[in-house]
């Protein structure tokens, strides 16, 4: 019996030893996973390249640029930054090198801008017409006159203090203001000496088109406006179109790349991309449809649909791709 017990004890020890080894194998400490540390991209790496556009208030107030902006940004992965001023101020910004693209509607000023070496690749992309709008009762009696005769009559009745005859001008050296002064000139008036200082009937707003329209509406006055901005503000105005036909009412919109010696070639190329985007078949179709659903007619007529007859140079190239990188 003693031998059997010793044998049993030995077997038991062997079993315990094997069991201990098995348990030790099963509880072996696993290696600690390696933590991978990733460095987030810097803010600079996330920023999109910027393209600065100086433009006129009429293009901005109508909402056209808001409509086109995301289309271009998604196409070129760029951040469009838009400042809207009167054409004169927009040109000043561009001349200082604080814009990459100039987008305005004053052909004479645009041609001088390019001639002086500040711009390249001028392209015309759309047009509409200016209007003389005013109170529905038309106190000056100018309805359906030529623009020049209407201005002559407004001047005559305004300076004679005819009841209800007032005119609100942009008065801000914008493209619209320049066009208004052109009509005064064709009507044989010296704008500086015979119009601006001719009496309280003539009011200089010094504001953008939308604000000028609102001021004219408040004062039951006449004003000179582009058709697109008038249509976009029409529902909030007490003004109706009084004069809408005449060669001097043509309004042409053009775009150009800003150029100066410090302009990086990448900026010039991206500005050219924006020009080519505006004159592309798809964008021209988009421009031709803009406003139809809301106003019953397009706010702008694309050059692909209609090229107006105008003085030499007013309508720029509207089909050739912009490729030049310098004058």
Question: For residue 189, what are the CA distances in angstroms to 41, 154, 195, 249?
Answer: 63, 12, 7, 17
The candidate with the shortest Cα–Cα distance to 246, out of 113, 325, 152, 136, is 152
129: how many CB neighbours lie within 10 A of its CB? Answer: 17
Q: What is the pLDDT of residue 46?
A: 64
Instruction: Read off the pLDDT of residues 218-253 as tens digits, 9 standing for 90 and up.
Output: 999 999 999 999 999 999 999 999 999 999 999 999
Is the per-residue pLDDT at 21 higher than 60? Answer: no
Q: Write out the DSSP string of 211-234.
A: HHHHHHHHTT-EEEEEHHHHHHHG
Query: Residue 40: which pLDDT band, with cuts at 50, 70 and 90?
Result: low
DSSP strand pairing (119-134 vs 250-258): antiparallel
Domain layout of the chain by residue ranges: 49-128+251-302, 129-249
Q: What letter would DSSP give residue 70?
A: H
Q: What is the pLDDT of residue 59?
A: 87
Instruction: Give the pLDDT score at 199.
Output: 96
The fold of the 49-128+251-302 domain, in CATH, is D-Maltodextrin-Binding Protein; domain 2 (3.40.190)
Range from 15-19, 67-71, 137-141, 289-293 carrying the lowest mean pLDDT: 15-19
Mean pLDDT of 102-124: 97
How far is the C-alpha of 159 from the C-alpha of 153, rounded, in Å? Answer: 10
- Domain 49-128+251-302 and domain 129-249, same fold? Reply is yes
For the chain, the average pLDDT equals 89
* pLDDT of residue 25 exceeding 80: no
Residue 203 has pLDDT above 80, yes or no: yes
Token match 């009509």: residue?
183
Q: Is the pLDDT of residue 14 over 60?
A: no
Q: What is the CATH topology of the domain spanning 129-249?
A: D-Maltodextrin-Binding Protein; domain 2 (3.40.190)
The rounded distance, in Å, linking the Cα atoms of 200 and 212 is 16
Number of H helices, E strands in the chain: 13, 10
Question: What's the confidence (pLDDT) of residue 34?
Answer: 43
State pTM to two decimals: 0.83
207 pLDDT more than 90 = yes
Mind listing the pLDDT tens digit for each residue in 171-190? 999 999 999 999 999 999 99
């Amino acid at each position: 019996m003693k031998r059997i017990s010793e044998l049993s004890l030995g077997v038991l020890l062997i079993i315990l030893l094997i069991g201990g080894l098995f348990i030790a194998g099963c509880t072996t400490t696993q290696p600690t996973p390696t933590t991978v540390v990733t460095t987030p991209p810097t803010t600079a790496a996330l920023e999109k390249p910027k393209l600065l556009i100086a433009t006129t208030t009429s293009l901005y107030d109508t909402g056209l640029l808001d409509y086109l902006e995301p289309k271009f940004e998604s196409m070129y992965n760029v951040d469009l930054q838009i400042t809207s001023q009167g054409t004169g101020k927009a040109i000043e910004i561009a001349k200082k090198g604080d814009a990459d693209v100039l987008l305005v509607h004053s052909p004479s000023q645009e041609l001088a801008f390019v001639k002086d070496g500040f711009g390249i690749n001028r392209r015309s992309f759309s047009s509409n017409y200016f209007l003389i709008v005013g109170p529905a009762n038309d106190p000056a009696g100018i309805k359906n006159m030529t623009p020049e005769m209407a201005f002559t009559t407004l001047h005559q009745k305004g300076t004679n203090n005819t009841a209800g005859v007032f005119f609100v001008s942009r008065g801000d050296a914008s493209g619209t203001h320049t066009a208004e002064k052109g009509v005064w000139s064709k009507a044989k008036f010296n704008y500086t000496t015979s119009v601006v200082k001719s009496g309280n009937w003539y009011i200089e707003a010094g504001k953008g088109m939308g604000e000028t329209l609102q001021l004219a509406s408040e004062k039951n006055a006449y004003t000179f406006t582009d058709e697109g901005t008038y249509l976009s503000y029409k529902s909030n105005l007490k003004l109706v179109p009084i004069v809408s036909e005449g060669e001097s009412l043509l309004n042409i919109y053009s775009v150009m790349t800003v150029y100066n010696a410090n302009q990086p070639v990448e900026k010039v190329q991206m500005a050219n991309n924006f020009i080519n985007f505006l004159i592309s078949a798809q964008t021209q179709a988009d421009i031709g449809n803009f406003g139809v659903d809301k106003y019953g007619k397009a706010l702008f007529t694309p050059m692909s649909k209609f090229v107006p007859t105008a003085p030499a140079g007013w309508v720029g190239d509207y089909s050739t791709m912009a490729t030049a990188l310098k004058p």
